[in-house]
Amino acid sequence: MNISRRNFLQTGGVAVAGSIILPPFMQSCRKIQISSNVKVYLDHFEVSAGTLQKVVAAAMSKGGDYADLYFEHKTTNNLGLEDGKVNRAFSNVDFGVGIRVLKGDQTGFAYSETITLDAMLNAAKMAANIANTNSSFKRGGLAEKIPSDYYKITQKWEDVSVKDKVPFVQEINDRVFSLDEKVIRVNAYLNDESAYSLFYNSEGRLAYDYRPMVSFSVVCVMEKDGQIENSYSARSFRKGFEFLTAGLVEELAQEAVNKTNILFEAIKPKAGEMPVVMGAGGSGILLHEAIGHTFEADFNRKGTSIFSDKMGKKVAESFVNIIDDGTLENNRGSINIDDEGNDTQKTYLVKDGVLNSYIHDRISSNFYKVAPTGNGRRESFRHIPIPRMRATYMENGSATKGDIIKNVGYGVYVDNFSNGEVKIGAGDFTFFVKSGYLIEKGELTQPIKDINIIGNGPQALADITMAASDFAIDNGTWVCGKDGQSVPVTCGLPSVLVKKLTVGGIS
């Protein structure tokens, strides 16, 4: 079956994800057997199995230890509404291949936006220069393996027109205005994405995936007696057009209005060191940024993380279990395979309070002599894969949220973060909290807003003294930046008590 890239996008292809692995007994096999699923992806990128082998052979020609190819075709559509009108509607198409060669712990990399044999061979030879000896590379056969599908959808975005999507941004605009007469402005944004990828390496592994994504957010601006406040709500999943429903519009509209209304009554608390209760869900961003990055194996391999010598040691109370998970169904951070062709998985980073695993890519898993964790991720074909988080969260404890709050004489409850800064090596962080509540004598009292939470991630982890059984994933539009690359992630947390953090408020 010959199918052009254009026709592929129209039909949506046959397979969602899969991988082909060259087993040891087939190392000398010259005949390549491929399924119809694999052929769809090869035809989409207009390459053959033989072409892939030629390019990998060129990449290995200078004596590299390993080489891989990463093909990507991504289409992104964006809609924006301001002042009651859709004033932004554009699409972007990205297409190309990245070629990587490893020699020891050194990396050679080049990419091409043109997928012709000559262009790929030139890029492969450039990447090969990381090594400096001539070498011959023996081609092998292929055997197929199909992994799980963690983002089943019913209608792909490439089958949906702009006119089908516009009513949803208009409806959420109208609904927010109808909920409260104080609303003076609404901005709504809808972004969808379809990405096809094909991966091949010098070990004979051929992997492929289709990755959908959608994000829908609304910003609400309100005015009361000359005071102007704003807040937002957002959802993002690996879903298709079925994601957009009247129920979602209502949920986001109500949430944005409620979060904005609270700010009119909010105050700034007194500054100082105090207990902090992290609310379930969105507070997981602090877990991701201030703690999760310190578990990434590249930082530990280089000795820049405070956890570099802590493997197998106690780092938190025994009820603390922290997970990085790529298997949550339709989750923004989930992936069927990582960008090095490895199966994704659920990885316990901290198990019963003990550091159990780092977050690995191929280089670090080889260094530590452990199995890959499925965390080799990249922003696009123009970037090399590095250890990255997916959905990072802490499991439930045994307390209740009410029990935790009752244990605080004076402190703050926070649940709505906006941005922050983290020194990844040491884990020192400063986070801006959009809203929360003051805790006085074991009760939530006055709403608070616009405060900073300052602390050290590893110390905050050790200082978690209680955890509730109200775990939630925050399905917002979280994006993680590292080494100039951005990837979609999610985070989650039950309500937890950190016995001591610095709160920046009024003196």
Q: Annotate 162-193 with DSSP letters as a single string.
A: HHHHHHHHHHHHHHHHHH-TTEEEEEEEEEEE
**Helix (H) or strand (E) segment spanning residue 233:** strand 227-237
Name every residue whose Cβ is closer than 8 Å to that of residue 172 and which is 6 or more positions away in sequence.
Answer: 186, 188, 216, 218, 249, 252, 253
pLDDT for position 32: 58
Residue given tokens 């289709």 in the structure block = 210
Task: Report pLDDT digits (tens) over 453-495.
Answer: 999 999 999 999 999 999 999 999 999 999 999 999 999 999 9
Query: Tell me, what's the pLDDT at 420?
Result: 78
Mean pLDDT of 428-435: 92
Question: Residue 423 has what pLDDT?
Answer: 86
Buried b (16+ CB within 10 A) or exposed e, 430-468: bbebbbbbbbeeeebeebbbebbbbbbbbbbbbbbbbbb
User: Is the model's pLDDT at 158 over the cut of 60?
Assistant: yes
pLDDT at 378 over 60: yes
- The tokens for 303 are 């000795």
C-alpha 122/C-alpha 131 separation (Å) is 16
397-419 pLDDT, tens digit per residue, is: 999 999 999 999 999 999 998 87
Q: Which two tokens stand for residue 355?
A: 């550091």
Backbone angles phi, psi at 142, to 5 degrees: -135, 145
User: What confidence category does residue 425 fall into, taking pLDDT thresholds of 50, 70 and 90?
Assistant: confident
Cβ atoms within 10 A of the Cβ of 303, count? 9
- The two tokens of residue 123 are 């890029």
Going by C-alpha positions, the residue among 260, 90, 92, 241 that lies closest to residue 167 is 241
The C-alpha angle 280, 335, 169, rounded to 5 degrees, equals 65
What is the pLDDT at residue 135?
A: 73
pLDDT of 18 higher than 50: yes
Task: State in Å, rounded, how far the first CA of the chain is from the last one.
Answer: 72
Phi/psi for 165 (5° steps) reads -95, -30
Closest residue by Cα to residue 50 from 176, 180, 175, 140: 140
341 closest CA partner among 147, 198, 207, 141: 207
Query: Using CA of residue 403, residue 350, residue 332, residue 187, what is the dihedral sign?
Result: positive
pLDDT of residue 16: 45
Residue 305 binned pLDDT confidence (cut-offs 50, 70, 90) = very high
Judge whether residue 5 has pLDDT over 70. no
pLDDT score at 38: 86
Q: Compute the CA torsion angle 397, 398, 401, 405 (nearest 10 deg).
A: -100
Dig out the tokens for 22 from the structure.
């060259």
pLDDT tens, residue by residue, 20-35:
444 333 333 344 567 7
Whether the per-residue pLDDT at 249 is higher than 80: the answer is: yes
The mean of the pLDDT values for the chain is: 91
Confidence band, pLDDT 50/70/90 cuts, at residue 141: low
pLDDT of residue 4 exceeding 60: no
Domains of the chain: 5-215 (3.30.2290.10), 272-504 (no CATH)
C-alpha span between 491 and 474 (Å, rounded): 6
Q: Given this model, what pLDDT does residue 505 score?
A: 77
